[in-house]
């Protein structure tokens, strides 16, 4: 059976796609990183490549310093999810968010989400961006073809004269 | 066919639900990681602590009568990693009926609270393996060569205190596969009983299961993170790879509640943080889950 590639919020590198094949979203709150790591091969050779790392944010929303630590190491945030919300469909998850807010009305996972999205900002929505660039490229190609056609007609007239 | 009018067990008033002497502990993992890292107590007056990592200088040869101005080689720069203390907690409510007639005591609850916190912290520490930047991915199951490849990289990174045996914290399957390899190898070294500690003996309470030729101590536990279809285990130096800041002990509050439902609330919390100290002093070992 062919396993599906998990679709992340941020585009992964080509090598990482194989690790995302069959990857299942955890049931707990998580932040998924694409790691930059050395793969040790036989005879002590090594190759710089990528890997995956899941940071568990369940029961611990104040882990932004860990996120920072991994970003400093050259890791990239690919995805995040399952953060408990006040409006969660699951009553126990909503209760958890309320419990961790300690009556302040501020869900600590919202702060983590804001932090994580801020770190992903430059790469978020890569597929929309790709589609936009491709659209712009097509328009330019069309314009170029039109201009070339005009030029050919002009050159043909000049030749006749 | 049953015979009528026989005085059976059901005719008398009997004691029910007698507790037998045997009590099984819960089938849960033991704490492994807290003793395998650099540890300190909580910082005072702040929730954040910085662990310093010393920088180095580089010397260079110098020709006679040549000036040498201070340059990058002579600039000593230390770096650091930060720990931010977090709270881990568990709360239980015990009804007045349970308190009066039951057998779950405050001592028992405090013990269970402590054990649950220890497991949480341990799993948190195990999850740090995924963040190491060097990995060995087994072709399928874990082999001794995979572990030794990790050991090589740690030595090659010049991790200090090489006299201290490295620690390999494996899953139970990883441990089983190492033992199986020893049994199946037929190499003469494994006919020497003193080399077979990792194969024989029984696991200790701290998850220690034996040493491989005296240079790598093996631990087997559960709770490792997974990556795709691999379990993320690791070999690392116990002094320099991971660090932890721990409160001296969990604190338990006991509060009686009336209007809320007549129960006693037992709330236990523990302050701690675990983090990576030196990336190059550990290697993650990925093998089939």
Kindly report the CATH number assigned to the domain that includes residue B78: 3.30.2400.10
Question: Scanning every residue of chain A, which has its alpha carbon at the shortest distance from the alpha carbon of B146?
Answer: A42
Q: How far is B128 from chain A (nearest CA, A)?
A: 9
Whether chain B has a CB inside 8 Å of the CB on A99: the answer is no
Q: How confident is the model at residue A85 (pLDDT cuts 50, 70, 90)?
A: very high
Lookup: tokens for B35? 């003793």
The CA distance from B4 to B40, in Å, is 75
Give which of B190, B228, B229, B230 is closest to B210, Cα–Cα. B190
Q: How far is B155 from chain A (nearest CA, A)?
A: 12
The CA distance from A39 to A19, in Å, is 14
Whether chain B has a CB inside 8 Å of the CB on A152: the answer is no
Give which of B37, B270, B288 is closest to B167, Cα–Cα. B37
3-state DSSP assignment of residue A42: helix
Residue from the list B133, B150, B225 with its beta carbon closest to the beta carbon of A36: B133
3-state DSSP assignment of residue B102: coil
Interface test with B, best of A6, A38, A79 (most B CBs within 10 A): A38
Interstrand relation of B38-40 and B242-246 (parallel, antiparallel or unpaired): parallel
Angle at A78 between CA A77 and CA A82, to 5 degrees: 95
Look at residue A1 in the predicted model and tell me its pLDDT: 64
Judged against a pLDDT cut of 80, whether residue A126 lies above it is answered with no
Whether chain A has a CB inside 8 Å of the CB on B122: the answer is no
Residue from the list A19, A36, A66 with its beta carbon closest to the beta carbon of B227: A19
- Measured between beta carbons, which residues in chain A are less than 8 angstroms from residue B153? 38, 40, 44, 46
Question: What is the model's pTM?
Answer: 0.81
List per-residue pLDDT tens for chain B, 289 residues long: 788 888 888 888 888 777 778 877 777 778 899 999 999 999 888 989 999 999 999 998 999 999 989 999 999 999 988 898 988 889 999 999 999 999 898 889 989 999 999 999 998 999 999 999 999 999 999 999 999 999 999 999 999 999 999 999 999 999 999 888 888 877 777 676 666 777 777 888 889 998 887 789 999 999 888 877 789 999 999 999 999 999 998 999 999 999 999 999 999 999 999 999 999 999 999 998 8
- Percent of residues, chain A, with pLDDT higher than 90: 52
- Measured between beta carbons, which residues in chain B are less than 8 angstroms from residue A69? 81-82, 131, 275-276
For B161, the domain range is: 33-288
Whether chain B has a CB inside 8 Å of the CB on A47: the answer is no
- Measured between beta carbons, which residues in chain A are less than 8 angstroms from residue B225? 54, 56
B137 forms beta bridges with: B286
Give which of B140, B128, B124 is closest to B229, Cα–Cα. B140
Regarding predicted confidence, which is higher, A124 or A22? A22
Say yes or no for a CB contact (<8 Å) between A52 and B275.
no
Residue from the list B84, B135, B149 with its beta carbon closest to the beta carbon of A37: B135
3-state DSSP assignment of residue A62: coil
Residue B50 CB neighbours (<10 A): 12
CA pseudo-torsion sign B195, B167, B170, B204 = positive
Residue from the list A40, A51, A70 with its beta carbon closest to the beta carbon of B283: A40
Whether chain A has a CB inside 8 Å of the CB on B149: the answer is yes
Residue from the list A22, A42, A46 with its beta carbon closest to the beta carbon of B229: A22
Indicate whether B65 belongs to any domain.
yes
Look at residue B194 in the predicted model and tell me its pLDDT: 64
Looking from the CA of B164 toward its CB, the CA atoms found within 13 Å total: 17
Say yes or no for a CB contact (<8 Å) between A46 and B153.
yes
- 8-state DSSP, B214: T
As a whole number, the mean pLDDT across chain A is 89
Indicate whether B280 belongs to any domain.
yes
Indicate whether B2 belongs to any domain.
no
Domain count, chain B: 1
Indicate whether B25 belongs to any domain.
no
The CA distance from B283 to B285, in Å, is 6
- CA B107, distance to chain mean position in Å, is 25
Residue from the list B88, B156, B227 with its beta carbon closest to the beta carbon of A51: B227
Q: How confident is the model at residue A127 (pLDDT cuts 50, 70, 90)?
A: low
Q: Which tens digit of pLDDT belongs to each residue from A28-65?
A: 999 999 999 999 998 888 999 999 998 988 878 888 88
Of chain B, the end-to-end C-alpha distance in Å amounts to 56
Indicate whether B127 belongs to any domain.
yes
Indicate whether B221 belongs to any domain.
yes
The interaxial angle of helices B172-185 and B144-156, nearest 10 deg, is 110
Write down the ipTM of this complex: 0.78
Give which of A30, A110, A111 is closest to A77, Cα–Cα. A30
Residue B199 CB neighbours (<10 A): 17
Interface test with A, best of B142, B227, B234 (most A CBs within 10 A): B227
Look at residue B204 in the predicted model and tell me its pLDDT: 87
Indicate whether B3 belongs to any domain.
no
B81 forms beta bridges with: B51
Whether chain B has a CB inside 8 Å of the CB on A71: the answer is no
Judged against a pLDDT cut of 70, whether residue A25 lies above it is answered with yes
Whether chain A has a CB inside 8 Å of the CB on B161: the answer is no
Judged against a pLDDT cut of 80, whether residue A125 lies above it is answered with no
Give which of B109, B84, B63, B136 is closest to B244, Cα–Cα. B84
Indicate whether B14 belongs to any domain.
no
The CA distance from B195 to B235, in Å, is 19
Residue from the list A40, A52, A70 with its beta carbon closest to the beta carbon of B227: A52
The CA distance from A128 to B203, in Å, is 54
CA pseudo-torsion sign A61, A65, A68, A73 = negative
Q: How far is B34 from chain A (nearest CA, A)?
A: 18
């Amino acid at each position: 059976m062919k396993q599906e590639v998990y679709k992340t919020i941020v585009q992964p590198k080509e090598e990482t796609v194989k690790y995302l094949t069959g990857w299942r979203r955890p049931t707990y709150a998580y932040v998924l990183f694409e790691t930059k790591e050395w793969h040790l091969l036989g005879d002590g050779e090594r190759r710089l490549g990528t890997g995956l790392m899941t940071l568990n944010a369940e029961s611990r929303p104040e882990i932004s310093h860990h996120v920072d630590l991994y970003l400093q190491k050259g890791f990239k945030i690919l995805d995040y999810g399952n953060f408990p919300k006040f409006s969660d469909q699951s009553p126990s998850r909503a209760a958890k968010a309320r419990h961790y807010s300690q009556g302040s009305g501020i869900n600590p996972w919202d702060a983590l989400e804001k932090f994580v999205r801020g770190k992903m900002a430059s790469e978020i929505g890569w597929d929309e961006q790709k589609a936009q660039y491709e659209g712009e490229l097509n328009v330019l190609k069309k314009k170029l073809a039109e201009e070339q056609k005009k030029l050919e007609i002009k050159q043909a007239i000049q030749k006749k004269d | 066919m049953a015979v009528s009018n026989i005085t059976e067990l059901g005719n008398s008033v009997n004691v029910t639900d007698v507790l037998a002497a045997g009590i099984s502990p819960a089938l849960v993992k033991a704490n492994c990681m807290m003793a395998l890292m650099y540890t300190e107590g909580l910082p005072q007056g702040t929730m954040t602590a910085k662990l310093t990592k010393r920088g180095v200088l580089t010397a260079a040869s110098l020709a006679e009568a040549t000036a040498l101005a201070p340059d990058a080689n002579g600039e000593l720069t230390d770096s650091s990693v930060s720990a931010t203390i977090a709270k881990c907690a568990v709360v239980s409510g015990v009804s007045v009926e349970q308190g009066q007639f039951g057998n779950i005591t405050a001592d028992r609850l405090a013990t269970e609270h402590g054990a649950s916190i220890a497991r949480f912290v341990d799993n948190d520490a195990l999850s740090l393996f995924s963040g190491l930047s060097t990995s060995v991915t087994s072709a399928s199951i874990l082999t001794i060569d995979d572990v030794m490849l990790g050991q090589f990289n740690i030595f090659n990174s010049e991790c200090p205190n090489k006299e201290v045996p490295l620690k390999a914290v494996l899953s139970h399957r990883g441990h089983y596969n190492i033992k199986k390899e020893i049994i199946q190898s037929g190499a003469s070294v494994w006919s020497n009983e003193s080399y077979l500690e990792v194969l024989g003996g029984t696991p200790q309470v701290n998850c220690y299961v034996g040493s491989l030729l005296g240079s790598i101590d093996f631990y087997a536990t559960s709770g490792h993170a997974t990556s795709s279809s691999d379990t993320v285990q690791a070999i690392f130096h116990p002094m320099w790879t991971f660090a932890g800041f721990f409160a001296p002990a969990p604190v338990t509050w006991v509060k009686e509640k009336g209007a809320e439902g007549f129960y006693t609330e037992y709330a236990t919390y523990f302050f701690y943080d675990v983090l990576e100290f030196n990336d190059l002093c550990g290697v993650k070992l990925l093998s089939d889950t």
